[in-house]
């Protein structure tokens, strides 16, 4: 095969709609814009979200509080969830995903101190709460921040 023999797959491309080229084209006269009205005129149309002067949806819906777009979002795992691992296991993000404890990682994994752990395990996570760290170390394990 040569470079000039390449072509798109059949049906993947579509011919451009040629408007205003006479009655025979099927898009002559009003060029597919119908008769008169704001959308038939030349120039820029209406902005996104414009509802003909009615109060737009983004202004009708009540807004409360503050949404910090720079906030970190963590996948949460509790200390009690780590009980499913064997003693002396190294628990990282991959291991948590394999056991189904974490689906989406977001900005990392944070281990919280809800529940208890009786096995000595090494946990590698993005963040730990103080209680989680103390419970893991009290059981003889290690809490490593990655």
**Per-residue pLDDT tens listing for the chain (146 residues):** 899 999 999 999 999 989 889 999 889 899 989 999 888 998 878 899 999 999 999 999 999 999 999 999 999 999 999 999 998 899 999 999 999 999 999 999 999 999 999 999 999 999 999 999 999 999 999 999 98
What DSSP string describes 42-59? Answer: SS--PPTT--TTSPPHHH
DSSP, res 80: G
Which residue, among 114, 122, 71, has the nearest Cα to 95 in the 3D structure?
122
Q: Which value, in Å, is the radius of gyration of the alpha carbons in the chain?
A: 30
Q: What is the pTM of this model?
A: 0.58
What is the structure's pLDDT at 59?
Answer: 94
- CA 144 to centroid of chain Cα atoms: 28
Contacts of 38 (CB under 8 A, 6+ apart): 45, 46
What is the structure's pLDDT at 110?
Answer: 96
Whole-number Å distance between alpha carbons of 138 and 79: 12
């Amino acid at each position: 095969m040569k470079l000039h023999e390449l072509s798109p797959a059949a049906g993947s491309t579509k011919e451009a709609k040629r408007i205003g080229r006479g009655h025979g084209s099927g898009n002559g006269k009003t060029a597919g814009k119908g008769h008169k009205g704001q959308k038939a005129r030349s120039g820029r149309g209406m902005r996104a979200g414009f509802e003909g002067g009615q109060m737009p949806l983004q202004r009708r819906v009540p807004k409360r509080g503050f949404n910090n777009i720079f906030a970190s979002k963590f996948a949460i795992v509790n200390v009690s969830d780590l009980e499913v691992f064997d003693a002396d296991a190294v628990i990282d993000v991959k291991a948590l995903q394999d056991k189904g404890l974490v689906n989406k990682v977001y900005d990392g994994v944070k281990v919280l101190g809800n529940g208890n752990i009786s096995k000595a395990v090494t946990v590698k996570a993005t963040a730990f709460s103080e209680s989680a760290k103390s419970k893991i170390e009290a059981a003889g394990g290690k809490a490593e921040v990655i």
